[in-house]
Structure formats: structure tokens, C-alpha cells
A = this chain, B = another copy of it.
């Protein structure tokens, strides 16, 4: 009897999409306005979903307060009100596309969650563009 428990969170950050080994023209051609050298930014919304058996003692798959604390320590404290390219080590050499950000968040949360729990992370870059990753 596996149930999925989901928690929404959010963080605000600046970023720029580009490859330092490409010319400005090549970056503009592929990344368009997202290649502004002065950065732009987003309110990122996050849905973290963990799947597992219900504990018959508590009725919880996992205490959502603990999940909320993990999201705070692993994601919000690290990314909120930051410049992803300049302030976040994971993106020093990794282009902070939504796809790459969601994989980084998945890996950070996977490392601290109970091993028997399945994990899926959905990241909204804008209300109309979002990505999700479940480790497969």
C-alpha cells in the first residue's frame, strides 16, 4: 500500500544560460534572452514527492515537517535569493537550465532521505514551464 506524499516549496534566484566555451553569437543563437550577461531571474516553485508504505503506527509515509526541513536545508538555504551561476557551487561548471537544476535538487534530497523512499522532483521555472525528474 504505497502512497505518495508531496510538499510544495519555492525559492527566488537569478541565473544566466550560456556556455563559457562558446562565442556570444553562438550563446545568443541557442539561449536567446536567457543569455543576458547581467542575468535575469525567476520565482522557482518546487514539488517534492516521496513514495513509500504507510507506517501503521503513525499513519504517515513520512512526517511532512521533516520533509519540509530537508527542503529548507538542502534547497532553500542553498538557492534562495542567490545567483545560481555565481553563488551555488553545483553550477560553477554546469549550465543552470531547469533540467540541470531539477537533477541537482533530486540528488541533494536523495542523499538525505530514507533509502527505501522513492523520490520525484518537479521544478517550475515559470508558471508555464516546468520539468520533473524521478531518477530514472
Contact = CB atoms under 8 A, between A and B. Distances in A.
Interface of A: 1-10, 12-15, 17, 19, 30, 32-34, 36, 38-43, 54, 57-61, 63-65, 80-83, 86-87, 94-100, 102-103, 126-133, 136
Select the residue from A43, A86, A98 with max chain B CB neighbours within 10 A.
A43
Majority SS of interface residues in chain A?
mixed
A40 B5 contact: no
Contacts of A12: 40-42, 126
Q: This chain: how many copies in the complex? A: 6
A91 B59 CA distance: 12
Given A36-B87, A99-B5, A103-B1, A129 B64 contact: yes
A132 to B, nearest CB: 5
